[in-house]
A and B are shown apart, each in its own frame.
Chain A
Amino acid sequence: MAKKIKLPDFSLHNNIRTLRFHAHEMTQQELADRTGVSRQTIVAIENGKYFPTLELAFRIAHVFNTKLDDVFTVSLEK
C-alpha cells in the first residue's frame, strides 16, 4: 500500500492592488477587460477569495508586464 505523503500547507497571496496602483491606478474594470473576465472575478481574486487558473494568472502578469511571482506569492505554513 502506498505511503500517504503529508503535503505542506501553504497560503497564496497576491499583489494585484499594489500593481494596479503602480500602473497609474488602473481600475479593476480595466484589468478585467484586459484579461477577459468580469470585474467581480478580479475583486474576488484581489480579496483572496478566488484563486485563478494558471492561464488567467499569466494573463494578469502579462497586463502588468511582470513575472508571475511578482503577482502571486506563496507562503508555507509550518
Chain B
Amino acid sequence: MAGKERETLVTLISSMLIMGSYSLYVYYTYLSKDWELINDFKFWGTAFLVLIPVTIGAQIGIHIIFAIITKIVTNEDMDTRSDERDKLIELKSIRISHWIFTAGFLLAMTSQAMGMQPWVMFVTLTASGFLAAFISDSAKIYFYRRGF
C-alpha cells in the first residue's frame, strides 16, 4: 500500500473513531441524563461547535503519531508533496462528498418541511456529513488503487 493510500486509510479510520467516541461521549454525558435536550437548538449548536476543534485536534495528533510510526517501521519520511494525480483524485473525491452532503442537506430540510421534530434534521445533517467524509475517503483509496 502506497504512502497516500495509507494516509487516507488513517484519516478514514480516525474519523470513524473520533465521530464514534464523540457521539458516545455526548450521549452518555448529556442525552442519557436529560432526553429533552434532543430538541434543544442550543445543545445541537454547542455539540457541532465543539466537534469541529475536537476533530481537527485529534486528526492532527493521529497523523503525527502515524508519521512517527511510519518513520520507525519503514524508515521513510511522509511525502507531503501533492502532484497532478493527487490533485485529480482529491477533486474527484471532493465532488463525491459534496453530492452526498447536498443530498443529506435536502433530506434534512425535507424532514422539517414535513413537520418532523428538529432532532431529525440535526441527526440527518450529522449523518450526511459523516457519510460524505467516509465515502469520499473510501473513493480516494479506490482511485489510488485504480490509478486515478
Contact = CB atoms under 8 A, between A and B. Distances in A.
A51 to B, nearest CB: 8
A9 B39 CA distance: 58
Contacts of A41: 83-86
Contacts of A18: none
Contacts, number: 36
A37 B83 contact: yes
Interface residues of A, number: 13
Contacts of A38: 2-4, 79, 81, 83, 85-86
A53 to B, nearest CB: 6
A18 to B, nearest CB: 20
A37 B10 CA distance: 22
B83 A50 contact: no
Contacts of A50: 85, 147-148
Contacts of B3: 38, 40
Contacts of B81: 36, 38
Interface residues of B, number: 13
Contacts of A52: 84
Contacts of B147: 44, 47, 49-50
Contacts of B144: 40
Interface string A33-57: 0001110110010010110110110
A43 to B, nearest CB: 8
A50 B85 CA distance: 8
Q: Which of A50, A52, A56 has the most CB of B within 10 A?
A: A50
Contacts of B85: 37-38, 40-41, 44, 50
A35 to B, nearest CB: 9
B84 A56 contact: yes
5 contacts: A36-B81, A36-B83, A40-B4, A41-B84, A49-B148
